[in-house]
Structure 1
Amino acid sequence: SGSNTTAGNITTAASNTTTASTGRPTLSIAENVRFVPRFAFPAQQAARLGRVTHFSVKVMSLMPPSSKWFATPWRQTPAYQGGFLLDGGVHHAAAARLFLCGPDNRPASVRAFTDRVRDFLPPIDTVTAIVRTASGATGTFQHSAGTLMEAFEWEVACERGTVRSAGETVTAPEEALADLEFLEKMFRSGEQDGALLEYELQL
């Protein structure tokens, strides 16, 4: 379908992951952000600094209709609830979750607000979320494809220091499923005016 997710929603993705665990058929995931040095190295450093205490992810840009990334028909009429945010956002979710690894740091719950700023980016083009980890630390995840703001930043504060990645692919199916849930729960919370939703599939 051209999507970078294991499926368009958590239910289908979980079914695909379960089926793939039997060995037939093979499920291939095209997510490689966990191996990109600008994310992998800072995440390794953060893991040495103790429990995460705060974090901020900010990915802001405008996806104009003239962009080659916008030009595919399925992106102009997406069947997935997150539209372009889900398609492109899974990469940003994977990078965020790379910093939030380990039992204490895994995402546990989320409250989010979503919006559609640009008519040509259905159904939503902006999500602002507050994520709480299993240990109780809170952080923000902001992603918009419908803004004139420009940002591509990951910052994590730990007990003994901070790590920042700013600037301008193979993984396990379970990781891709967790990336999808990370975003989908934000979108669902936004649909429910910021309702608190619990994460269930974070590793």
Structure 2
Amino acid sequence: MAIGVAIVGSGHFAKEQHLPAVQAAADLRLGAIYSRSLKSAQALAGSTSDVDLYSDDSGAGKSYADLLARSDIGAVIIGLPILVQPEFIRKALQAGKHVLSEKPIAKDVPTAQDLLQWYRANINPRKTFWAVGENYRYLTKLLFAAEQVRQMGPVRHFRVNVHSLIKGDNKYYLTPWRKSPEYQGGFLLDGGVHMVAGLRLILGRDEPITTVSALSQQQQAYLPPVDTVDAVVKTGSGATGVVSLSWGSPFSDNVFEFACEKGVVKMHFDGLTINGKDHPIEFDGKGVVPEVAEFARAIVNGRPVESRQSPEEALADLEVLEQMLQSGKRDGEKRQLHLQTELLA
């Protein structure tokens, strides 16, 4: 029997990814949508039938608390602004709902750790599951690149260059909480955790990033507080690499390149080369469909979510990005990372 699920948040990602993914999941049935306003909830619902709408302006019986009180809603998928999302996660877990929340796990590591510690202390994680969505861990091109790197032997050196320019008319920029971010990094936090997750996926769990040293800057005045970070990083085995991320750059790059014992694996956008030989990867979506389906299977099978959806993995991603930003604030100060190593304990 399909699990009743609610989508919480009606932004662009919910429209383009969450809603289609829920509709494609055999184990889920969309029963409700919550948004701050009824208008935005209606916009997400569109012509979808048999979906109840909840919002802050819908009147009695239609609040978020009312949604969580429904016995036929077993899970929620939460995609809300970074600063408010932890409160909604906590309330849903308290109500006994399984949660799939969007990355980043929180605005900073202390906030995320506090939420995770609360979850472990107050909720039985074997009965009520909390997953954090990171669709980059489901992208075919990244999974294939990771497989090829494993076959090429230990990584010696690597570089990640992801550069683009978020313009003033970009639909994501036009969301108020992104135009005036009250959290570290701005678009670097929002988009950078994707790139960290991709890098960590390809390096593998046994190759944690242990130190970072970075410089940061704000190239575009409308992208505060910073929009560019250039970091030198080192892994537990001694491999070194450069991670350059910018959402305020005139460059257009999306390169993940790994020099391994037996050769070089390079991913450039959707193209992959292994020792110079092309291995085209057909684009098959942004990874949200299999991500949501895996979350649903965990609930149906009564088992905790897979490690790639765990809050601990999302926290490790956040630590890498946060320490890059902190190093940038301190003119390249060397920073130590710990959370990835703890995952191996």
What TM-score do the two structures reach when normalised by structure 1?
0.94
- The equivalent residue for 1:163 is 265
Deviation, structure 1 residue 93: 1.0
Superposed, 1:46-85 pairs within 5 Å as 46-85=149-188
What count of residue pairs does the alignment treat as equivalent?
A: 202
Which of 307, 312, 337 aligns to 1:174? It is 312
Q: CA deviation at 1:62?
A: 0.3
Q: 1:10 maps to what in 2? A: 109
- 2:334 maps to what in 1? 196
Q: CA deviation at 1:48?
A: 2.3
Which portions of structure 1, spanning 4 or more consecutive aligned residues, are displaced by more than 6 angstroms?
A: none
1:175 positional shift: 1.1
Q: Which residue of 1 aligns with 2:274?
A: none
Q: Deviations over 1:153-200 (max 9, x none)?
A: 111111122211111644221111111111000000000100000011
Q: Is 1:110 matched with 2:212? A: yes
Aligned to 2:247: 145
TM-score by length of 2: 0.56
Q: Where do 5+ consecutive residues of structure 1 fail to align? A: none
Secondary structure at the counterpart of residue 168 of structure 2:
coil
Q: Structure 2 CA distance, aligned partners of 1:102 and 1:90?
A: 16
Structure 1: how far apart are the matches of 2:259 and 2:148?
11
SS of 1:29's equivalent in the other structure is strand
Residues 119-144 of structure 1: CA deviation (Å, up to 9, x unaligned): 10000000000000111111011011
- What is the Cα deviation at residue 32 of structure 1? 1.3
Identity %: 41
Aligned AA for 1:27?
A: W
CA-atom RMSD, angstroms? 1.5
What CA distance in whole angstroms lies between the structure 2 residues aligned with 1:41 and 1:16?
Answer: 33
Distance 1:54 1:94 in 2: 18
The answer to which structure has the higher helix fraction is 2
Cα offset, 1:15, TM superposition: 2.2
Counterpart-to-counterpart distance in 2, 1:40 and 1:20: 30
Q: Distance in 2 between matches of 1:40 and 1:147?
A: 27
Name the structure 1 match of 2:135.
Answer: 32
In structure 1, the residue matched to 2:204 is 101
Larger radius of gyration: 2
Q: Does 1:23 align with 2:128?
A: no
Partner residue of 2:234?
A: 132
Aligned to 1:89: 192
Contact 1:108/1:134, CA 8 A, preserved across alignment: yes
- Structure 1 45/73 Cα, relative in aligned 2: closer, same or farther at 3 Å? same
Shift of 1:26: 4.0
Q: RCO higher in 1 or 2 (8 Å CA, sep ≥ 6)? A: 1
Conserved 8 A contact 2:130-2:310: no
Q: For the Cα contact (< 8 Å) 1:113–1:127, is it kept in 2? A: yes
Name the amino acid aligned to 2:105.
T
